[in-house]
Structure formats: C-alpha cells, structure tokens
Amino acid sequence: MLKTYSRKKKTDLKKVPSCVRPPVDDAEEKKHFQKVVNDFKSYRSHLAKKFSFNRQLVESLPERQQILLKSYKESLYEVEKCAEHNQGLIDLIIKDVFFMFENANAPMPCVIKTEEEEEDEEETTVMGVERVQTTLKQFVRDWSKEGASERNACYQPIIDEVIKNFPPEHCKPDEVKILVPGSGLGRLAFEIASRGYSCQGNEFSLFMLIASNFVLNKCNEKEMYSLYPWVHQVENNLTPQHQMQLIFFPDVIPSALLNPTSSNLTMAAGDFLEVVSG
C-alpha cells in the first residue's frame, strides 16, 4: 500500500501517497479547496462557451467564407465531444476528493456554487480552468507511454544519481529518505520509491495533488483511463486530429510496483519551506 497525503502536518492518507493539510477548520483553506474543485467542475462548461463563440464567429462570416471553413466548423463539434469525455474523467478524479487528506477530523463539505456566484468569479475561474488544462497535460508526461522519452530525459538522470550515491547492494534503501519538491503528479517520487527508497513528494498545487491522488490511489489497471490532453490547445496542430489525440494512462500500475508490506511513498502538501521546517 502507498502512504498518505498530508498538508503542513505530517500524517498519513489512506492508500497511496497521502497528504497532510492545515486544520480542517481553517476557513481560507476550505474556501481555496472548494475553489479548486469548482474549477475542475467548470472545465467542460468553460470550453463549451469557448467553442460556441468560435462557431458564432464562423457563422457571422459571408456564406462563401463559411463554405471554406466547413471542415473547421465540423471539427468544433468533435472537439466539444472530446471535452465532454475529459469532463467524465475529471468527475472521477474529484469523486470523494474531500476525503483525500488523512489529517482531517472530518471531510470538507462540498458546496456547489450557483451560476450567479460563478459569474461573479468568472475571471478567476478562467485562470483555474487553465490550471486544470495544464494538469491534464501532465498525465501525458508522467503517466502515459507517449511521455516516456521526456521522463527519460528529465527523471532518469536523477534516478541514476540516487542509485549511484546509495547503491542498493551497499545500503538499506528503505532507510534512505529522499524528498522530491514540486513533485507534480508524483511520477519521479513513485520511480524512486519503487526502487525501495523511502521517498516523500512535496507539492503546493492542489490541482496536482488531486490528480496525483487519483492516479496513485485509484488506478489499479494499466491504461484504464483515457483523455484528450490537447483538445483545448489550438496552436501547434498540423491537423484537427492532432488536437483530438487520445492518450491512455497509467502506463504502469503504481500499486503493483511498490512494496505491499511497507509504505515507502508519501506526499506532503504545502509550501516546501513549511513542510521541511515542520
């Protein structure tokens, strides 16, 4: 089993990396957590407005020009279907997310905002949805076969240095404690822990923590989930098919590669300096 998510305090979560967070009665913390969850919930509706606006622009053109853009207009409907698929995945990611932190006396209540309240925060919601989009892209780098070359380029040198300085044949790996700040979706921390070392990932972003909790704790089959990571990216695409590329994750089963009898992987949420000083 994997260990826990904690925030600031060091306690343990339920299955995989768990996270510690500030006390549950912290009003600002509750508000921020709910804001992040609402940003995840707003993903599809935000993109639907964007796609609808683009269609209206096309329809406002002279008929001759609309004919030239017929395939583009049709692709907007396909892209919207991809966004709906992603929202289905997001709904799974945030399911039971209020139980994510183990050092909480009670789960934080889920308060769904009204449309009027969401409109009042439209500007911040746009920024939040952009962070959701960035988080979805991280699944490609950290947990898909398509991201293997990038992982080899940025993670493997670190793993090689760990093994070089703490060779398993000359030490007890589980007694070597390694901290991975800015751990994102947790792949580097996972790779280190899967080699027997005691590793803790540290991440400040709740977007990343929620997603890493899902992939590390809820994914028990290889490539059991799919998403369209580039559907909201209109640049750097040679064809519409590039924008609608489907990827599957995870490329490995996290729980299958970690020691089932000892929890050597944990996650600490919060500011790096606060975590290490605590």
* 4-8, 154-158, 268-272: least confident range: 4-8
Mean pLDDT of the chain: 85
Using one digit for the tens of pLDDT, what is the confidence trace for 103-116? 455 445 545 555 55
Split into its structural domains, the chain has a count of 1
Whose tokens are 């009670």? That residue is 106
Distance CA 11, CA 8 (A): 9
Using one digit for the tens of pLDDT, what is the confidence trace for 49-67? 988 999 999 999 999 999 9
Using one digit for the tens of pLDDT, what is the confidence trace for 203-245? 999 999 999 999 999 999 999 999 999 998 888 888 888 999 9
User: Quick one: pLDDT at residue 5?
Assistant: 61
Q: Which domain holds residue 81?
A: 5-277
Average pLDDT on 19-43 reads 77
pTM equals: 0.84
Q: Which of 217, 164, 241, 147 is nearest to 4 (CA)?
A: 217
